[in-house]
Structure 1
Amino acid sequence: MAAVSVAAEWQLLYNRYYRKPEIYSMQWGRMDLTRHRVACAPFGGPIAVIRDDSKIVQLYAESARRKLHIFNSAGVLLASTVWDRPGGRLVGMAWTDDHVLVCVVQDGTVYRYDVHAEICAPQFSMGKECFEQSVVECVFWGNGMVCLTEGNRIFCVSDFKNPKPCKLADPALEDYPLCVAVIEPQYTMHGNVEVLLGVGDHVLAVEEDSVQQLGAGVDPLQKMAVSPNGKYLAAFTHDGRLLVIPTDFSRIISEYSCESTLPPEQIAWCGMDSVLLYWEDMLLMVGPTGDPVRYLYDEPIILIPEGDGVRILSNSVMEFLQRVPDSTVSIFQIGSTRPAALLYDALEHFDRRSAKADENLRMIRASLPEAVKACIDAAGHEFDVSRQCTLLRAASYGRAFCSQFPRDYFQDMCKTLRVLNAVRNHEIGIPLSIQQYKLLTTPVLIGRLINVYHHLLALQISEYLNLNPEVVIMHWACTKISASSSINDTDLLEILLDKLKLCKGISYAEIAAHADNSGRRKLAAMLIDHERRSSKQVPLLLSIGEEDTALVKATESGDNDLVYLVVFHIWQKKMPLDFFGTINARPLARDLFIMYARCYKHEFLKDFFLSTGQLQDVAFLLLKESWELEMNLLANKGSPLQGPRIRLIEQAQKLFSETKEQNFESKAAEEHAKLLRLQHELEVSTKQAIFVGSSISDTIRTCIVLGNHRAATRVRAEFKVSDKRWYWLKAFALATVRDWDSLEKFSKEKRPPGGYKPFVEACIDADDKTEALKYISKLTDPREKSEVSIHMHFVKCETFFIAYSGSVLNVILIFL
């Protein structure tokens, strides 16, 4: 009897059975769909309803101001808002794949709402032409839309996430097309949308840069619908025929003559096996061959195509018309003797304690795994919970006698059904079939649940299926913060922490960021203190103005990049003295700042050292700046840049003199400045840029070479050059210019303090041995005299060897 009652609900279309179970009794009370514009989201999504402003309707006990209502699929109100958008009449309304409600008004302005009837993105316009010509029709798909204007121009938005309206090719129409359909970009060869326009006895396929004529000679089409896979087109002709043809119009696959030439109000595909046509009181389902199936309605309906069927929405109920799955047919078809039917029958006999149960099992012993699988599969396709349980019991009963059947298949189906039954509850209102659920995937379903604030169910599903609950808990926490303006921060923190601890790796930083964006900065600061990852904690602390805490956390982490991030942030926000005081208390931050400033911010670093009393460090910076000026080519040519160099060194000397520990540096800086000043004067007087940057000895030697003995004497006096060093420098300088008379005269002024050895070596260095012999005889130290003689002899031998190296080598080769 159970099998008969189940199969009695089916309708046979050619060789396929269809069923139309009632899913929900609508909870929205008094509703007349004929008075409203309705947009239904696929995959059991929400329903948007707004009074149709293109119709004259009678107002009952309702306000004259129109309201946008959003319901779940069971008619439970989710949200509503007053519709007061300018731009003219509402032309089109549809849901995107992300459950964003897109509303297009007459002047081409597009408004977007979330499931809570709140504006979720900025409005945008379809362009100047749409504004001037007015939009008259919109066709939506997934995340895109095309709209037609009164001037018969077509505009397209291919992705609402990045709305960039573009104009398609001009179809050059004189009259408005009879019907419009769209082939989605994913089903076209070029990956762009293709718009089909029914025009006269042919169809125009309009793309972005081309217009192609298709189906020449076909009767005028008044309604079109593209199949779910984008390959076929169902079209209703002006003479009342339903044609199914490929989208390239290469042939007619099937044809059916309807009883009426009046075009249907709606046309939709039911899966890939049949087409639905709806007139005012009748729904006609046409298959490839055979007689159609008729369903009569005494109230208006709306067809909502799904991948595996069509949801039918009326004022009072929601139904789901689908092809009966093969597994269900094998069990419940009247007179079925297939293994699955016998197994299902065996369970009934077993419940009645009849021996017929054992007989049935023996009959299907070889096909028992197939029967068990069919029962499990049929249970998955059922919406009736009691029938699911019966089918699963039958499968479990058969599995007890089939040890090789995989256990996971049964367990997975039980889990899937528990999830589906939970979301199908009218309070949740997501009537997914098992095929839709598999296409949608569990993470997307959980995302949709939390978007409508069903966090508890989303969390239970996540835990039940061993999924990470972080997304659910984070969304709940952010929602709780937004909705708890009356709860103080401390109490709200306790509520949040009680739930957040359920997920160990959750990001407190993101929740704290939401609290900050919601204007609860104190709560954000308390939340961020529980974040363990410094890389997320520190930037948020900076954004909420907790610079000191951010610096503490960054230095404790030991991450130099984070420390630099905080240092630069504080540097830009605080006054210099406050900044110096902040970083000076943190050695790591201070050292990193000094390292950076040494390379790029000398002046700022000097201010820092002065503020902390590190005068010697300022002095060293001044010396470094003077050295950098020394590398400047202009500074080495007697330019005015020598003035700043000298002043820098003098400033460094003053700072060095402030501390007793820097006496050497102070004296060295003082003498360096004095030398530079003197060298600069020499360059100016001689007009030769050869002094600056040289040592005292080189300066003296250069003065003598140039014949400026007075300047050399001045340098000697200024820097207290010893007599012994003076004699060496002057002897070598005179020998360099080969002024032998002046050298001899200089040697006779008085006995040299270091002896005559400098004179001898100067002559030898100038390669004049004759002059050197004059002074060798004056050497008193026998050792010095012998060393000099050997040195002169070695130089002669070396010269001889170089001159005759070829002959010597020849002699060596002969002896070998």
Structure 2
Amino acid sequence: MAAVAVAVAAEWQLLHDRYYRKLEIYSMQWGRMDLARHRVACAPFGGPIAAIRDDSKIVQLYAESARRKLHIFNSAGVPLASAAWDRPGGRLVGMAWTDDQSLVCVVQDGTVYFYNLRAELSAPQFSMGKECFEQGVVECVFWGNGMICLTEDRQIFCVPDFKNPKPCKLADPGIEEYPLCVAVIEPQYTMSGNVEVLLGVGDYVLAVEEDGVQQLGIGVGPLQKMAVSHNGKYLATFTHDGRLLVITTDFSRIISEYNCESALPPEQIAWCGLDSVLLYWDEMLLMVGPRGNPVRYLYDEPIRLVPECDGVRILSNSYMEFIQRVPDSTVSIFQIGSTSPAALLYDALDHFDRRSAKADENLRLIRSSLPEAVEACIDAAGHEFDVSRQRTLLRAASYGWAFCSHFPQDRDRFQEMCKTLRVLNAVRNHEIGIPLSIQQYKVLTAPVLIGRLVNANHHLVALRISEYLNLNPEVVLMHWACSKITASPAIQDAALLEILLDKLKLCKGISYAAIAAHADNTGRRKLAALLVDHEPRSSKQVPLLLSIGEEDTALLKATESGDTDLVYLVLFHIWQKKPALDFFGTINARPLARDLFITYARFYKHEFLKDFFLSTGRLQDVAFLLLKESWDLEKNPMASKGGSPLHGPRIRLIEQAQKLFSETKEHTFESKAAEEHAKLLRLQHELEVSTKQAIFVGSSISDTIRTCIVLGNHRAAMRVRAEFKVSEKRWYWLKAFALATVRDWDALEKFSKEKRPPGGYKPFVEACIDANEKAEALKYIPKLAEPRERSEAYARIGMAKEAADAASQAKDSELFGRLKLTLAQNAAASSIFDTLRDRLSFQGVY
């Protein structure tokens, strides 16, 4: 393979001690395109090309239309889309591609337009502001997802991020003449984290930021052209006297200097990696390195330089070329006269194919270095654009690999490179037109590449790559489905649904809801409803059903999911859109929805809930709501004030509840209780008015009677007793305790003698003991009919002998033991109980 190596190396150019190669990637497919007559924007990473006729050029008669068009091509010149350019706002000032491959176009009045790959306006347009509109934009410099604009008044405006376009004004550079050249250092490479604009002014450079201006490099200028390296550390400049200076961006030192022998500034200047700089004049491209003589390339047609992270793409009317530094692994194999292990391995494969014994000789020479040789062949294959050369290098790696004693790591590397090259070769096809190098591919990453294929509608290739690399194909299939819906207005919904489902089933867990949302946005609501029915996740399905007007289905899906948050989402949506009766009918058929609505409405929408219960015939539930409202009024502080206007509403609410309860046979008790409650409130209200004391409302019948007696209003107490048919036994208890509360012992005694109490004298005993009046209690304890009651009463006031005598009369062993425990601390009492124990023989108690 020596002849092959010579042929390969013959294409290289030596720049001092480093080789460079210029590869022809594509023959352009765009026909009679003349770059000299067009403004052109090329996206990095092998991205698309946008072209629009330069309005400063004279229109050639009969050669082209007078109407300007925006054309978009892939990197091979294959047309992707075109659209008439009729944007108002003056001439086109700047045009560039963003990181997500949106085309940004800036016109003279500061209006910014965005186009997608189909030449359609995508994101909303915005303005750079009033000052840009009034002064006019003269020049734009772009980077990644941002840009700066210079106005005729030499002011600088910046958009740091197109995803959130908020123009801001940088510091006033304070210059009287327009700068000779402009460059930017991206925010990621500055200390402040903000963009830094470099202006070539006079014999120095101004570094302009948002908060200040700094003068740099005094004496290096005047500078005619500037270009910042990819890592933001170096600045390539062309001076007024024809020198190329490479300077650090802080202007602390000059890295290299070369006299170009021409004071005419180049049309373009671009970094080729970090090792050399390209300068283009009409018909000549000059490559200058840190040392040694430059390399010259001649062109007979205009070109555009497109910097990449590892080289420069060169676009001409006829070709797309790529110039880069030759990788070290490639040099070690193909350099003329190379005796490196990789070169010998590559040569050994040739001998093996020709069945020459020299193959074995080569292998013996490099046996100790075989792993390094295999790695070099694999690496060199990755950097090749020629498919046959890739195969040969990989075959050489595989051949050497068979003789390696330790190969598992090499196997993984080999397989990974094969996968990578298959992906790269697929996207390099001129129909796809993405000429990525392996280094660019690593920086871009496979998911981003797939996203770009999808945006260019190369869905099949994107799907195959996703499957091949074991990546989730959801993004590809979703974009395909949305594009299919948009592009198929004539296909019936059922037929289109079948086509979509046939492909979407390839990806488990795909979001049918998102596709259905797109169908709804394009006006195909029926298709959207059919699609969303296949969405397994209720959290995505239900909101979309609501948005397309399928409320009943949404409620069904939400209740079936059991997710109460989703059910509430549907409830509130229907609540706002439907009349009340329709809403009630809808939720009443769904028990879960109905119960959740009732739970919510109990706290926040009482009146609406009452309407719901009335409409569904649940009168008792309305009544309970009315009672709750009355209780809420009772908790209100106003309810405690005598004569409060809240008593009336409470009574009316209870009466309404009583009326509703009375209409159902099952709630007779509730009806009677509500009636009694209303009557009690009225009477209590009257008592508060007559006594001018707000102490009755809200209390029970017993407390009302007790309070009346305590206040000495016996007539009112008798009235309450009569109104609510309080039993005589209960009456005695209430009055006895009330009299004891006010310590009216004479009245208590008089009351006990009016007639024999119906329940005995126990109420009088209890009232006196509770009031801690032993003497008064002794008046009534002897009158207790039951010995047990007398014994317990005596014990409570500490009279042990009397308690023991009463207990002995009761002949109750259990009572005897309990009383002894009660009076255990009293030694005399214990002695009395021991004596009685012996007398009565209550041995078993102890």
> Among residues 557, 580, 600, which one is paired with 2:561 in the alignment?
557
Amino acid aligned to 1:88: G
Matches of residues 648-663 of structure 1 in structure 2 within 5 Å?
A: 648-663=653-668
Question: C-alpha deviations, 1:127-171, integer Å up to 9, x for none?
Answer: 111111111011111111111111111111111111111111111
1:507 aligns with 2:511: yes
> Among residues 411, 416, 420, which one is paired with 2:420 in the alignment?
416
> Among residues 492, 496, 501, which one is paired with 1:492 in the alignment?
496
Question: C-alpha deviations, 1:501-533, integer Å up to 9, x for none?
Answer: 111121111111111122111111111111112
Q: Which residue number corresponds to residue 473 of structure 1?
A: 477
> Among residues 245, 248, 256, which one is paired with 1:246 in the alignment?
248
Q: Which residue number corresponds to residue 20 of structure 1?
A: 22
The 3-state SS of whatever aligns with 1:112 is: strand
The 3-state SS of whatever aligns with 1:121 is: coil
> Among residues 138, 144, 163, which one is paired with 1:142 in the alignment?
144
- Are the structure 2 counterparts of residues 779 and 244 from structure 1 closer, same or farther at C-alpha, using a change threshold of 3 Å? closer
Once the two structures are TM-superposed, the CA of residue 465 in structure 1 deviates from its matched residue by 1.4
Matches of residues 125-204 of structure 1 in structure 2 within 5 Å?
A: 125-204=127-206
Q: Which residue number corresponds to residue 110 of structure 1?
A: 112
Once the two structures are TM-superposed, the CA of residue 279 in structure 1 deviates from its matched residue by 0.5
1:719 aligns with 2:732: no
Q: Which moved more, 1:179-188 or 1:703-712?
A: 703-712
Matches of residues 450-465 of structure 1 in structure 2 within 5 Å?
A: 450-465=454-469
- Are the structure 2 counterparts of residues 256 and 715 from structure 1 closer, same or farther at C-alpha, using a change threshold of 3 Å? same
1:626 aligns with 2:630: yes
Once the two structures are TM-superposed, the CA of residue 783 in structure 1 deviates from its matched residue by 6.8
Matches of residues 223-262 of structure 1 in structure 2 within 5 Å?
A: 223-262=225-264
Matches of residues 675-690 of structure 1 in structure 2 within 5 Å?
A: 675-690=680-695
- The percent identity for this pair of structures is 85
Once the two structures are TM-superposed, the CA of residue 359 in structure 1 deviates from its matched residue by 2.9
> Among residues 612, 618, 637, which one is paired with 1:608 in the alignment?
612
Amino acid aligned to 1:623: L
- Are the structure 2 counterparts of residues 452 and 669 from structure 1 closer, same or farther at C-alpha, using a change threshold of 3 Å? same
Matches of residues 374-453 of structure 1 in structure 2 within 5 Å?
A: 374-405=376-407, 406-453=410-457
Q: Which residue number corresponds to residue 802 of structure 1?
A: none
Q: C-alpha distance in 2, partners of 1:743/1:88?
A: 108
Once the two structures are TM-superposed, the CA of residue 16 in structure 1 deviates from its matched residue by 1.1
- Are the structure 2 counterparts of residues 709 and 73 from structure 1 closer, same or farther at C-alpha, using a change threshold of 3 Å? same
The 3-state SS of whatever aligns with 1:120 is: coil
Q: C-alpha distance in 1, partners of 2:416/2:310?
A: 21
- Are the structure 2 counterparts of residues 777 and 411 from structure 1 closer, same or farther at C-alpha, using a change threshold of 3 Å? closer
Q: C-alpha distance in 1, partners of 2:9/2:566?
A: 69
Pairwise CA RMSD of aligned residues?
A: 2.3
> Among residues 372, 375, 378, which one is paired with 1:373 in the alignment?
375
Amino acid aligned to 2:697: V
Q: Which residue number corresponds to residue 814 of structure 1?
A: none
Q: Which moved more, 1:596-605 or 1:216-225?
A: 596-605
- Are the structure 2 counterparts of residues 199 and 741 from structure 1 closer, same or farther at C-alpha, using a change threshold of 3 Å? same
Question: C-alpha deviations, 1:665-693, integer Å up to 9, x for none?
Answer: 11111111101110001101111111111
Once the two structures are TM-superposed, the CA of residue 426 in structure 1 deviates from its matched residue by 0.6
Maintained 8 Å contact 1:54/1:89: no
Maintained 8 Å contact 2:226/2:238: yes
Q: C-alpha distance in 2, partners of 1:774/1:354?
A: 138
Matches of residues 500-539 of structure 1 in structure 2 within 5 Å?
A: 500-539=504-543
Once the two structures are TM-superposed, the CA of residue 399 in structure 1 deviates from its matched residue by 2.3
Question: C-alpha deviations, 1:301-350, integer Å up to 9, x for none?
Answer: 00001111110001111111111111111222222222222222222233
Maintained 8 Å contact 2:794/2:802: no
Q: C-alpha distance in 1, partners of 2:365/2:765?
A: 129
Once the two structures are TM-superposed, the CA of residue 780 in structure 1 deviates from its matched residue by 7.0
The 3-state SS of whatever aligns with 1:24 is: strand
- Are the structure 2 counterparts of residues 764 and 184 from structure 1 closer, same or farther at C-alpha, using a change threshold of 3 Å? closer
Q: Which runs of 5+ in 2 are unaligned?
A: 804-824, 828-846
Q: C-alpha distance in 2, partners of 1:753/1:688?
A: 33
Q: Which residue number corresponds to residue 696 of structure 2?
A: 691
> Among residues 636, 643, 648, which one is paired with 1:643 in the alignment?
648
Q: Which residue number corresponds to residue 92 of structure 2?
A: 90
Q: Which runs of 5+ in 1 are unaligned?
A: 799-806, 810-816
Q: Which moved more, 1:659-668 or 1:601-610?
A: 601-610
Q: Which residue number corresponds to residue 812 of structure 1?
A: none
Q: Which residue number corresponds to residue 709 of structure 2?
A: 704
Q: C-alpha distance in 2, partners of 1:59/1:403?
A: 72
Maintained 8 Å contact 2:20/2:325: yes
Once the two structures are TM-superposed, the CA of residue 229 in structure 1 deviates from its matched residue by 1.1
The 3-state SS of whatever aligns with 1:23 is: strand
Q: C-alpha distance in 1, partners of 2:501/2:219?
A: 71
Amino acid aligned to 2:463: L
So what's the TM-score if we normalise by structure 1? 0.94
Q: C-alpha distance in 2, partners of 1:336/1:763?
A: 123
Q: Which residue number corresponds to residue 8 of structure 2?
A: 6
Once the two structures are TM-superposed, the CA of residue 615 in structure 1 deviates from its matched residue by 1.6
Maintained 8 Å contact 2:200/2:221: no
Q: C-alpha distance in 2, partners of 1:747/1:240?
A: 130
The 3-state SS of whatever aligns with 1:267 is: strand
Q: Which residue number corresponds to residue 309 of structure 2?
A: 307
Q: C-alpha distance in 2, partners of 1:505/1:445?
A: 22
Q: C-alpha distance in 1, partners of 2:375/2:220?
A: 47
Q: Which residue number corresponds to residue 62 of structure 1?
A: 64
Q: C-alpha distance in 2, partners of 1:305/1:427?
A: 22
Maintained 8 Å contact 1:205/1:213: yes
Question: C-alpha deviations, 1:189-239, integer Å up to 9, x for none?
Answer: 111111111111111111111111111122311111111111111111111
Maintained 8 Å contact 2:794/2:800: no
Q: C-alpha distance in 2, partners of 1:542/1:514?
A: 15
- Are the structure 2 counterparts of residues 795 and 699 from structure 1 closer, same or farther at C-alpha, using a change threshold of 3 Å? farther
Maintained 8 Å contact 2:147/2:159: yes
Q: Which moved more, 1:212-221 or 1:304-313?
A: 212-221
Q: C-alpha distance in 2, partners of 1:21/1:212?
A: 42
Question: C-alpha deviations, 1:434-463, integer Å up to 9, x for none?
Answer: 111111111110000000000000011111
The 3-state SS of whatever aligns with 1:629 is: helix
Q: Which moved more, 1:435-444 or 1:688-697?
A: 688-697
Amino acid aligned to 1:730: K
Once the two structures are TM-superposed, the CA of residue 373 in structure 1 deviates from its matched residue by 2.0
1:571 aligns with 2:584: no
Maintained 8 Å contact 1:181/1:224: yes
Amino acid aligned to 2:303: I
Maintained 8 Å contact 1:35/1:57: no
Amino acid aligned to 2:707: T
Q: C-alpha distance in 2, partners of 1:330/1:776?
A: 123
Amino acid aligned to 1:84: D
Q: Which moved more, 1:616-625 or 1:153-162?
A: 616-625
> Among residues 285, 292, 295, which one is paired with 2:294 in the alignment?
292
Q: Which moved more, 1:48-57 or 1:93-102?
A: 48-57
Question: C-alpha deviations, 1:169-192, integer Å up to 9, x for none?
Answer: 111101111111111111111111
Question: C-alpha deviations, 1:54-106, integer Å up to 9, x for none?
Answer: 33342434322211000000001111111111111110000111101111111
- Are the structure 2 counterparts of residues 760 and 345 from structure 1 closer, same or farther at C-alpha, using a change threshold of 3 Å? closer
- Are the structure 2 counterparts of residues 689 and 228 from structure 1 closer, same or farther at C-alpha, using a change threshold of 3 Å? same
- Are the structure 2 counterparts of residues 364 and 676 from structure 1 closer, same or farther at C-alpha, using a change threshold of 3 Å? same
The 3-state SS of whatever aligns with 2:124 is: strand
